[in-house]
Structure 1
Amino acid sequence: MPVKRIAGKTADTRFIWHAYKQDPDTLSAQLTTVLKASTMLPEEGKYERIPFFSQRVTGNPHFFDQNRFEGRLFVHCLFTSQLLKGLIEEMPKTTEELNELYANAGLMRDDLWSFVTCRAFLAETENGLHPVWREAAAAGTVMNVPVKELLQLTNIWPRVGKKVWIIENSGVASAVLDEVPDAPVICTHGQFRTAAWIMLQRLAENGCTFYYSGDLDPEGVAMAERLSNRFPGQTVFWRMDPDAYLRVLSEEDISARLSKLDAVQSPKLLLVANEMRLKKKAGYQEGLADLLVEDLKKRWAGGKEI
């Protein structure tokens, strides 16, 4: 936990200063435990349920529960660490954001509710080719796969080729799936969940290229930037340019959310980010559905990658 941030008395550190005024010795012990925990996180690519992690580190499975001060302190420690790495922009405010914070550290709150939707992929376990994934790919079945199942897999790859098409919006993804049978498509249903990151990591290890399409608003652009940062050289921004943005421009004012674009560094995303700063309006993926279908049909004909 960077000392400078606490010393700066930022808004997110007020609860720490309050604890210091109440009982500095107790806070010192709590900080020591939290810092110890930050050095004992799961190895990269591995995941551990938070109660089991807490038991391993402290001997108490509830030590880092959200209703405890130590839990809040631990979240702040993860936040400051990930802020420095560019993995996160602000303290989590929603359950999904908190889940992502934990997932970035290899920790899980819920391995059933976090799932990713996909079609036309194959997977292996230590026992070989997974029969459910094999049959689903052969039948063109769309699957909702939770973290619990993904963690049993040792390998995931597209049924054909190395291109993976990632769509943020579930309605748009469903329309694309209807029009382009057998194409390897992933739907994230908004912000990336733990399940999506696990699947994408397995695919990245197989040298896949990710074509990502999201809403043309600050949140969607930030998601694209996050994906590119995590998988540099393997991410292509799909219809996330100024022309696409102007095509789907809405009347929704995003002036209060434009600060989320400050972290964008990718030259291609900066083009659309700068246009957003000028227009101060959101653009939505639904207006691009026909173009996404057209793009995919050009690269995916008769079940073969072009």
Structure 2
Amino acid sequence: MTGELPATGEAGTVPVIRAAGTAPTVHDTEVAPTATGTGKLPAATYTWLSQPPLHRLWAAVRTRLEANGLQATGAVRLTNLTPQEREALSLLLSRQVSRPTTTIHLAALDTRLRISAAAMGLAETLTQLGQPLTDRRATRDTARARRTHLWSNATEALAASPLGAHPWAERWWGEIRRTGAVTRQAEPTASATLHQAIHTLTLLFPPVPPTSPSVRGRGDLATQVTGSAHGLDDGTLLSRLVLRGIAHAHGADFPSDAGGRRALWRLASVIPDEVSSTVLTYGLRPTATTWREAALRDRADHHAETHLTLRELRTLRLTMPPRTRIHICENPRVVEAAADAGCAQPLVCTSGSAATVVLTLLDALAESGCTLAYHGDFDWPGIALANRVIGRYDARPWRMSTLEYERLAARTQTAGTPPLLLTGPPVAADWDAELGPAMEALSLALHEEAALDTLLEDLA
């Protein structure tokens, strides 16, 4: 196969290439260059270079150029070439490409394009054929320089701050540099966050510790440092950086849950928000004599449910009468029904998740000598939650047996209740090896409301 890449002819016309020995077609007419929306490439040249058999070449060359700092150096290797691709490459390179694999040197291709009708180098040609090229090497160098500048300035700020007097500060600084979380942020945000973290820890750990550290609210501290009361909320990068500093200062592990994070804040005499999350309770009758415990007993006497905050749980004395059994449910509807029915047994609701405030209450009740009994939904998330609560407190399964599940399933089917199918991956019940297979066999999800009458009988 022979032929040439379209070359500019007389009066600016562009002869279109065809393989030797083939008959002329309508496309072989000489066409003067016209505006095509592609920039400087003549129309016929643009069309020829854009043909599908050359697509793989341009994609490979683009990748190599962007990695090379847009310099036409090195080579690309194309494999499994089709006959159409070999023909197009032969015409483009002015050499026979007869094998399924070929190597194309970018410098030679650059020269070839410059002396052809394209009349421009490789990088400019690719820009005309597609999107602008990205100099990835320059981008990496720029990002590296910015990171170096960011850490250099922040390290100087750390050294100049009173925080530099603490031995643990250097370990903390090294750790947050290694994690890379800071440099994933935009540069202004990253710089501001680092300086705010230094400022926050300087306030919490002055060079000369006071004899009696002052207790401050996390919102007040956040306002002082960031101007926003939410600047140190859980989930923010600043909060994570500061907590890592507190952990290093006290030789503690970095916490993995909300309860651990609250405990870590308290080590630095910072009180987190303890009033927004609550646990739903009913019928608690603690024996202590302060007004707080008396208020709980009064609400229990009036069959009124109670929402307790973490703040209240810190001050309540939850010593219960001997041999008190605390029933635990998953859904608030059970508490509502128990209150309406005037049930006598105490009840705690996990509200489907057993958040920190729920576990704090259950921890206190278990420590006071109460025995716990748990009931939840017969679905896979419900079984997972039951495993967690039963395992943590050695609680008694409360109507959570295979027999209870099958009885409830039969009753709902008899009543004509529309079936709710199980979804998600199965979960084995730690307290009953037969429950999971039985649930898989029937494929029915049964929520606590289906067992409400029997639960209320137990609570009465």
Q: Determine helix, strand or coil for the equivalent of 1:135.
A: helix
Q: Is the 8 A contact 2:322 2:370 kept in 1?
A: no
Distance of 2:376 and 2:234 partners within structure 1 = 31
Q: Which of 234, 244, 258 in structure 2 is aligned with 1:102? A: 258
Amino acid at match of 2:259: A
Q: How do residues 216-295 of structure 1 correspond to structure 2 at under 5 angstroms? A: 216-231=378-393, 233=394, 235-249=395-409, 251-255=419-423, 257-258=424-425, 261=427, 264=428, 267-295=430-458
Match of 2:184 in 1: 19
**Equivalent residues of 1:258, 1:277 under 8 A apart:** no
**Whole-Å separation in 1 of the counterparts to 2:433 and 2:242:** 33
SS of residue in 1 equivalent to 2:315: coil
Distance 2:293 2:459 in 1: 27
Relative to structure 1, the CA distance from residue 81 to residue 152 in structure 2 (aligned partners, 3 Å threshold; closer, same or farther) is: closer
Identity of aligned residues (%): 23
CA distance in 1, matches of 2:182, 2:405: 44
Separation of aligned partners in 2, 1:296 and 1:72: 44
Inter-partner Cα distance in structure 2 for 1:53 and 1:213: 41
Structure 1 SS opposite 2:361: helix
Give the equivalent residue in structure 2 for 1:147.
310
**Alignment match, 1:92:** none
The Cα of 1:132 is off from its aligned counterpart by 1.3
Q: Is the 8 A contact 1:136 1:142 kept in 2?
A: yes
User: Distance in 2 between the 1:49 and 1:193 partners?
Assistant: 22
Letter in 1 for 2:331: N
Q: Deviations over 1:73-121 (max 9, x none)?
A: 899xxxx965xxxxxxxxxxxxxxxxxx413544655523423222132
Give secondary structure in 2 for the equivalent of 1:281. coil
Query: What is the CA distance between 1:281 and its match in structure 2?
Result: 2.9
Give the match's secondary structure for 1:145.
strand
Instruction: Give the distance between the partners of 2:299 and 2:322, measured in 1 at CA.
Output: 14
- Larger C-alpha radius of gyration, 1 or 2? 2
Q: 1:166 to 1:134 in 2, by over 3 A?
A: same
AA of the residue aligned to 2:419: E
The CA deviation at 1:165 is 1.1
3-state SS, counterpart of residue 143 of structure 1: strand
Change (3 A) 1:195 1:116: farther
Q: Which of 195, 205, 216 is the matching residue for 2:357?
A: 195
Amino acid at match of 1:183: Q
Separation of aligned partners in 2, 1:18 and 1:279: 51
Normalized against structure 1, the TM-score is what? Answer: 0.60
Which amino acid is the alignment partner of residue 371 of structure 2? T
Aligned partner letter, 2:431: K
Looking at structure 2, the residues matched to 130 and 193 of structure 1 have their Cα atoms a distance apart, in angstroms, of: 23
State the one-letter code of the partner of 1:145.
L
User: 1:196-220, CA deviations, whole angstroms, 9 ceiling, x for partnerless residues?
Assistant: 2222111111111111111111121
Aligned to 1:111: 275
Question: Which residue matches 1:122?
Answer: 286
Q: Name the amino acid aligned to 2:425.
A: L
CA distance in 1, matches of 2:255, 2:440: 29
Assess if the C-alpha contact under 8 Å between 2:305 and 2:335 holds in 1. Answer: no
User: Residue 137 of structure 1 contacts residue 159 of structure 1 at CA under 8 Å; is this kept in 2?
Assistant: no
Q: What residue identity is the alignment partner of 1:111?
A: V
* Inter-partner Cα distance in structure 2 for 1:219 and 1:74: 34
Contact kept, 8 Å, 1:118 with 1:184, in 2: the verdict is yes
SS at 2:352's partner residue?
Answer: coil
CA contact 2:328–2:374 (8 Å) conserved in 1: yes
How many residue pairs match? The answer is 243
Higher relative contact order (CA 8 A, sep 6+): 1
Q: Would the alpha carbon gap of residues 68 and 174 (structure 1) be closer, same or farther in structure 2, given more than 3 Å must change?
A: closer
Give the Cα separation in 2 of the matches to 1:53 and 1:272: 50
Relative to total residues, which structure has the larger strand share, 1 or 2?
1
Q: Which runs of 5+ in 2 are unaligned?
A: 1-178, 202-215, 244-253, 264-271, 410-417
Letter of the aligned partner of 1:208 in structure 2?
A: C
Alignment match, 1:207: 369
Unpaired runs of 5+ in structure 1?
1-12, 37-47, 83-100, 298-306
Q: Secondary structure at the match of 1:211?
A: strand
Q: Which residue of 1 aligns with 2:345?
A: 183
TM superposition score normalised by structure 2: 0.42
User: Aligned AA for 2:402?
Assistant: P
Partner residue in 2 for 1:174: 336
Contact 2:278 2:307 in 1 (8 A): no
